[in-house]
């Protein structure tokens, strides 16, 4: 495997105990990063995640915090500063989604999805700027093709991801001068193995994907890691789509 030059870097990953978040934690730990694995609910899941990451070149420590709550987010970032001294990478992966059509969705649930997407970066930006002072720093948000395409019963998450991508652009402009690159990685339906919902839909999407299969959490993690490299330092405010070419089919 090529060396991405991330050994010794410090990282915080929100929503990192399963799925895409855990895959990102695994990738960065494999590259030698020191990772703070954030989670909001299950201590058991956090313990299992850290155990999975044990033995990799980097290190992983779990930290419980609901990043949609400003005080808990501040505590998470303060803990990162105390443990690492500075922060090199912040990956915003945590999200919420209440399935609903656009006609019939409640404002409350849609607003909750938007808050989960935006609040961690809105509230955390000043602290991230301080923790990454002197650069280079990397902020990567995990987005979705639902930000641009209409997915059935996905209105809350879709609107939230669209707003998130807009926020990424605004933050990118304001933080670029501080040596901090802010970008997003978007993907389509994720292959969750035997737990993949709607297997018929998944099979159809896999067949439509030019690369021949659904996107895996590891595909997303690889793309996030690439954006964290020194060579990606001139990429600012972009949404990199990692979906095997599925979006090209419309």
Active site residues: 154, 161
Nearest residue to 92 via CA among 188, 165, 176, 156:
165
Evaluate the CA torsion angle 22, 26, 27, 31 in order and state its sign.
Answer: positive
**Residues 33 and 89 sit within 8 Å (Cβ to Cβ):** yes
Cα separation, 182 vs 63, whole angstroms = 23
User: DSSP 3-state assignment of 211?
Assistant: coil
Tokens of 249: 């089919």
Alpha helices, H only, the chain: 19-30, 43-53, 70-84, 107-131, 155-175, 199-208, 217-227
Q: How far is CA 80 from CA 35, 101, 144, in A?
A: 9, 39, 27
DSSP annotation of 213:
S
């Amino acid at each position: 495997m090529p060396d991405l030059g991330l050994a010794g870097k410090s990282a915080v990953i929100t929503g990192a105990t399963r799925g895409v978040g855990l895959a990102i934690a695994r990738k960065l730990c494999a590259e030698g990063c020191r990772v703070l694995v954030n989670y909001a609910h299950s201590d058991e899941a956090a313990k299992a995640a850290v155990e999975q990451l044990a033995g990799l070149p980097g290190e992983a420590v779990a930290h419980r915090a609901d990043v949609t709550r400003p005080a808990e987010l501040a505590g998470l970032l303060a803990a990162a500063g105390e443990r690492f001294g500075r922060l090199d990478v912040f990956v915003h992966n945590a999200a919420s989604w209440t399935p609903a059509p656009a006609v019939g969705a409640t404002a409350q649930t849609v607003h909750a999805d938007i808050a989960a997407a935006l609040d961690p970066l809105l509230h955390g930006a000043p602290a991230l700027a301080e923790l990454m002072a002197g650069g280079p720093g990397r902020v990567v948000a995990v987005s979705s093709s639902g930000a641009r395409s209409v997915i059935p019963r996905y209105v809350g998450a879709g609107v939230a991801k669209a707003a998130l991508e807009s926020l990424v652009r605004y933050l990118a402009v304001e933080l670029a001068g501080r040596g901090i690159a802010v970008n997003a990685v978007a993907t389509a339906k994720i292959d969750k193995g035997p737990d993949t919902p709607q297997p018929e839909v998944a099979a159809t999407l896999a067949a439509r994907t030019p690369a021949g299969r659904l996107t895996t959490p590891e595909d997303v993690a690889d793309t996030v890691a690439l954006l964290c490299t020194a060579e990606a330092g001139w990429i600012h405010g972009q949404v990199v789509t990692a979906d095997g070419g599925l979006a090209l089919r419309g």
